[in-house]
Structure 1
Amino acid sequence: MKNIRHSLYLFLALSFVLLSGCTKYDFVETGRANGNHNTTMWEYFKSDPYNWSLLVRLSSRIGLQDVFEGKSSYGKEITFLGITNHSISRYLLKKYAEDHSEDELNRLKQEKQDALFDILADDLDANEAKAFILSSIIPKRAITLEEFKLGSFIEQNGVQERTGGENYTMASGKVLWLYTFKDAYAGVPGAGRLHLYIVSSDTKKKSEIASHNIRTTTGIVHSLQYSFTLGDF
């Protein structure tokens, strides 16, 4: 079993390196993206398959398209903490390593090389996929980066100290604590770039947003870093 997992984790690492080599620099590093889209969030996702094709595939299969089109009970506008292809594919590979044999993996890789992640996405349990996506949605509100509350997060010896920020109940019912923090600039505290962070009430993990204020006609997307993995909150 260790050999099986080692082989797949090596494959995962190589896949991630290859994907990262194609990263769009402004999307990941600067926090800037093409911020205004005169389309629904769903159409925006479909227009950028590099980042969102697996999200579109999962949402279509489990009936969540209407959420991103502003047609669901979650509201005409939502705030979405965007889980990109990198995050989804990393989780799918890890899950496959835990549930299948090395022979099954090799056969899948040989037969479905170009569609590997599509196959794995289609095999993901519908309830699990739904929980991941709904846990990334703040319903009935389109919140910009600047509207989130300033806060601070310190963890020492396993003890977390939080100030400011705000708790949000996501569409899944999960509670996430979000806060913003400003870097120092030229030696002046709070004069630098504004960051947005998420801390899970379940996993206690902290995640950072990579790109902010991607505006659509049905809400705002704040895209998580490519290093985020499903299940981190």
Structure 2
Amino acid sequence: MKGYIFLIGLLGILCSCENYYHDSGLANGKHDCTMWEYFKSQPGDWDSTMILIEHAGLKDVFDGTNPGYKEITFFGVTNLSIEQFLVKTIDDDWEPVYNRVKDIPADLCREMLLSHVIAGKMMKSECAHEVKGTLTGGTMTKTLSGVELRVYRTKSGYGGIPDIGAEGLRIHAPVSGNMASIASADIEVTNGVIHALDYTYQLTRL
């Protein structure tokens, strides 16, 4: 009898949680705010990104006020990607060239950021799959800095069976050869979508 009561209680809890959405910061989801407002709500991942954007003079592109870019897709460079760039940018004496974001030339900030932005909204489901074992397949697009970018979905295995596991999303700049994995796709906001890059990614021009 006690087991029966416990089962009923458990089912009640599960049913009440069916439509509950937990926002863990980089979780997929739809947010009723601009991209800039989303960054402000998640400073642990995006506060250096906001400094980078403002230093580059691009805030209007990310807050939806630029009339030329009402919607954008941002392959999101998080704080850790920027920190890696600062640490690994060294001179001949192995000293950091830039100690903080605002030490980076504004033009370089602008170029690096725009190479991670495309006009319009591109959701994960709109991207074609890569041809496995090749560097082909996916969806070709061009960033606001003019970089050709291949955006593609990948399939993983599960339980020893290929291609039935979770789908991933990756980007590849064919000219430079730079590649990156998306840690969290389809963070949808009112003026576009963010595909947050993996924490291991180092900021670059792509």
**TM-score normalised to the size of structure 2?**
0.80
Q: Counterparts of 1:193 and 1:34 in 2: how far apart (Å)?
A: 14
* 1:4-61 residue CA offsets vs partner (Å, 9 max, x unmatched): xxxxxxxxxxxxxxxxxxxxxx66xxxx605221110001011111111111012112
1:194 aligns with 2:167: yes
1:125 aligns with 2:105: yes
Distance of aligned partners of 1:67 and 1:99 in 2 relative to their CA distance in 1, 3 Å threshold: farther
Aligned equivalent of 1:80, options 74, 77, 100: 74
Matched residue, 2:118: 138
SS in 1 for 2:153: strand
Q: Counterparts of 1:40 and 1:228 in 2: how far apart (Å)?
A: 24
1:222 aligns with 2:202: no
- Give the CA deviation at 1:232: 6.8
* 1:73-128 residue CA offsets vs partner (Å, 9 max, x unmatched): 55211111000000001101222x327775xx7xxxxxxxxxxx9x5111101111
SS in 2 for 1:164: coil
Contact preservation (8 Å) 1:203, 1:232: no
Distance of aligned partners of 1:222 and 1:91 in 2 relative to their CA distance in 1, 3 Å threshold: same
- Give the CA deviation at 1:162: 2.6
Matched residue, 1:98: 91
Q: Percent identity?
A: 36
Matched residue, 2:54: 60
Matched residue, 1:211: 184
| Code of the aligned partner of 2:105 | D
Contact preservation (8 Å) 2:111, 2:205: no
Distance of aligned partners of 1:232 and 1:72 in 2 relative to their CA distance in 1, 3 Å threshold: closer
Pairwise mapping of residues 156-195 of structure 1 onto structure 2 (< 5 A)?
A: 161-195=134-168
| Structure 2: gaps spanning 5 or more residues | 1-23
Q: Counterparts of 1:226 and 1:167 in 2: how far apart (Å)?
A: 24
Contact preservation (8 Å) 1:51, 1:85: yes
Distance of aligned partners of 1:129 and 1:232 in 2 relative to their CA distance in 1, 3 Å threshold: closer
Matched residue, 1:152: 131
Q: Which has the higher helix share?
A: 1
| Code of the aligned partner of 1:214 | I
1:49 aligns with 2:43: yes
**TM-score normalised to the size of structure 1?**
0.71
Distance of aligned partners of 1:230 and 1:172 in 2 relative to their CA distance in 1, 3 Å threshold: same
